Homo-oligomer: A and B are copies of this chain.
Amino acid sequence: MHPLIQHIQKITAAPEIEDDLILSFFETKTFRKKGILQEEGKRCSLYFFVVKGCLRLFFTDHNGTEQTLQFALEDWWMTDLAAFRSERPSAYTIQALEVTEVLAISSRNYELLLSKFPVMEKYFRLVYERAYAASLLRIQLISRMPKDEFYDLFQSRYPAFIQRIPQKVLASFLGFTPEYLSELRKNKVKGKENQ
């Protein structure tokens, strides 16, 4: 069974899903490492579901530094949601961090899918409900927790993921500079040695 259908079933607990019909609204695409799925400033017409691999969403700040705001692993959705829903240009770039296979849906098909299948309305309601709750927790962590503790927490929660991504991308996601991350790592190693 397709990973998207499995995910819908897992989230909604629906007993039966018209899988072929639902999948016909999507197009499968594969991107190589560092491939660009969405360019900053261009019309944002696609919404991506990650089947295999890893994406990141970022923008370039006034110093020319890339600021990563989000990652998407398997079973995650990614787009510039505000732009996608309002048919405006994307404020962000979306890039593959590894070879990545996605399902892509157009905004027209997204509307159709939701209006035709009540289970999809429920699915996205639940997906957003969770994503919104997670996003609030993230605001708390990123803005109220000392940066070194935030790094520790992230490391303990996603140890495998940290191995998969460049450190400067991780640093910008966590909200600090690569230099500072380097220093943190050095201190952690020292800490361990002294135990």
A interface with B by C-beta (< 8 Å):
59, 61, 67, 69-70, 81-82, 85, 114, 118, 121-122, 124-125, 128-129, 131-140, 142-144, 175
Residues of chain B with a CB closer than 8 A to A121's CB: 118, 121-122, 125
Summarize A's interface: helix, strand, loop or mixed: helix
By the criterion CB–CB under 8 Å, are B70 and A133 in contact?
A: no
Q: What are 25 A-B pairs at a CB distance below 8 A? A: A67-B144, A69-B136, A69-B140, A70-B136, A81-B129, A81-B132, A85-B129, A114-B125, A118-B121, A121-B122, A121-B125, A124-B125, A124-B129, A128-B129, A128-B131, A131-B132, A132-B132, A132-B135, A135-B135, A135-B136, A142-B142, A142-B143, A143-B143, A143-B175, A144-B175
Residues of chain B with a CB closer than 8 A to A138's CB: 139
Residues of chain B with a CB closer than 8 A to A69's CB: 136, 139-140
The answer for the CA separation of A127 and B85 in the assembled complex, in Å, is: 13
Q: How many copies does the complex hold?
A: 2
By the criterion CB–CB under 8 Å, are B136 and A128 in contact?
A: no
By the criterion CB–CB under 8 Å, are A139 and B135 in contact?
A: yes
Residues of chain B with a CB closer than 8 A to A129's CB: 81, 85, 124, 128
Residues of chain B with a CB closer than 8 A to A59's CB: 140
The answer for the CA separation of A129 and B47 in the assembled complex, in Å, is: 13
By the criterion CB–CB under 8 Å, are A136 and B81 in contact?
A: yes
The answer for the CA separation of A79 and B69 in the assembled complex, in Å, is: 25
Instruction: Give the one of A82, A132, A142 with max B CB within 10 A.
Output: A132
Expressed in whole angstroms, the minimum distance between the Cβ of A135 and any Cβ of chain B is: 4
By the criterion CB–CB under 8 Å, are A61 and B144 in contact?
A: yes
The answer for the CA separation of A122 and B120 in the assembled complex, in Å, is: 10
Residues of chain B with a CB closer than 8 A to A142's CB: 139, 142-143
